[in-house]
Structure 1
């Protein structure tokens, strides 16, 4: 295994600077943000990917010695209006990944909130069938993060239909793989290790994020959280500052034969607000995981 992080937490930094800092701190891989402009999470300019951009990114990874583990573009592929544009950008991410020798592209299944889950799954099969076929022809796998994305539904229901093992099994029938993140399972009352173990062979990438349960808040709001816009009963933290048992998680990955990248996804509000604070948060994650993620 190799230890890395997702660059989206440093949108103000250039990829060269991120790679230099990551390598100097002992990280071995980067999962690189590839959103289109005007989004500033675009450390790889997939929306204008040409020979010069390919050479630039390739040179950064060659000089730093880091592994490019995935190109990240996490948007709603089933959005009723924007879906086709999202699908098209996923294809551009696949093109860039193939040119750079990157094995995976990460995205969300998403959801049309105006349709039932059953109808969404039928639409998803029609959308992802061609995307998976396109990626396969280019030697790239599409990986789906198991994030709930409640903010994508007006009533706070799951907005990304990839949140449970039941839905993972459905995704695998389409040829999709999993970018497995234990933090979202904690927030659903699912034991991450119990959910992980049967599916390790379908995991092509791992994200490392933690979940902190906020004492007493679930007694006011219940499992589904507040309707008032207030903070809910949990929040995301960097690994080591929440409830995830990282020793059990990484041990289960080792035992199951996973030998890919474990990529820290920094969404910790405590360690945000400046480049220095984000880097401190990444350092906490590194110290938590380094002795577990053995190369």
Structure 2
């Protein structure tokens, strides 16, 4: 039994699947997680054709086998409970398809998010309540939970039928974004097949401790994203809840989609924090300790790098993360 080290191929969208697998293998990795829906396109997985054809699925898995790689997860991170129909309805259906496809491919876990409903049944846009000191906010949260709980009861049942774990990323701007909110979801849904995708990067900037969180969750962790965060001096006056972002023009090259007609905004020039290649925010010794906690939770866990460090090219940043992740693993 051993942890499997791989990467999420979203950062290699300009490469074909065989090319992306070669890139991961050259970095010393053995697993690959591919996107199948949600916020971003899925160039490495033709979902509908794979759902429709056993031959297509056999050929697809053959690509991984030929490269000596493991298909270690399907990703459909998005907002499945959004009131925007072109976001919520689509992303919810993407999750259902991902679960069915994972079952057919023999993949045991998918990664997604809880999403964020609006304030009430008439709301047009998602609303993330950050600090509900105002009684009005509790009414919003009560409504949002009334949307998310039934949806994930359905998702959990579908996952159970397909022998798949649905692993939620604890991502801010989602109703489920920290340990207590995840524990509440499990309690209120009675879920058997919902887990956490442990991504330390989002916990770091919220001043949470990923190792302590891992030890608390234990077997409720089903997947890991190896991603780092660095805190910058700007935190002294911005704090971590910062809205000082800028618009990105529609004609801008390289913009990152999040829904039809929407994309990621521009970060402040002097941010409080940002994502960095693994090992550039926290020392390798820290990552060895983190991996030890993951190994204790599940010695067969899939640990996949998610590269989002804008300071480096995709292959360069992925290679830095892989080098540091494997160095940390060697210390176990």
TM exceeding 0.5 = yes
* Cα distance per residue 1:205-240 (max 9 Å; x no partner): 00010001112x122222311435352310001101
Aligned to 2:183: 169
Residue 242 of structure 1 is matched in structure 2 by 281
Counterpart residue number, 2:136: none
Q: In the aligned structure 2, how far is the partner of 1:7 from the partner of 1:237?
A: 17
Question: Would you say the 8 A contact 2:38–2:77 is kept in 1?
Answer: no
CA distance 1:180–1:20, shift in 2 (3 Å): same
For the pair 1:68 / 2:85, whether they are aligned, the reply is no
Q: Does 1:23 align with 2:59?
A: no
Asked if 1:132 corresponds to 2:156, the answer is: yes
Q: Describe the shift of the 1:22–1:223 C-alpha distance in structure 2 as closer, same or farther (beyond 3 A).
A: closer
TM-score, structure 1 as length reference = 0.87
The answer to whether the Cα contact below 8 Å between 1:3 and 1:293 also exists between their aligned partners in 2 is no
Cα deviation code 1:224-277 (max 9, x no counterpart): 114353523100011011137312211222334442111000011011xxxxx2
Question: Which residue, out of 174, 192, 195, partners 2:213?
Answer: 195
Equivalents in 1 of 2:94, 2:160: separation in Å?
A: 16
The runs of 5 or more residues in structure 1 that have no matched partner are: 149-158, 272-276
Runs of 4+ in structure 1 deviating by more than 4 angstroms, as ranges, are: none
Deviation at 1:126, TM superposition (A): 0.8
Helix, strand or coil: the match of 1:5?
strand
CA distance in 2, matches of 1:53, 1:143: 26
Q: Quote how far apart the aligned CAs of 1:35 are.
A: 2.1
Pick the aligned partner of 1:178 from 196, 202, 210: 196
CA distance 1:18–1:223, change in 2 (3 Å) = closer
For the aligned residue pairs, the C-alpha RMSD in angstroms reads 2.0
Scaled by the length of structure 2, what TM-score is found? 0.78
Structure ID, larger Rg:
2
1:292 maps onto 2:328 in alignment: yes
Indicate the residue corresponding to 2:61 in structure 1. 58
1:251 aligns with 2:292: yes
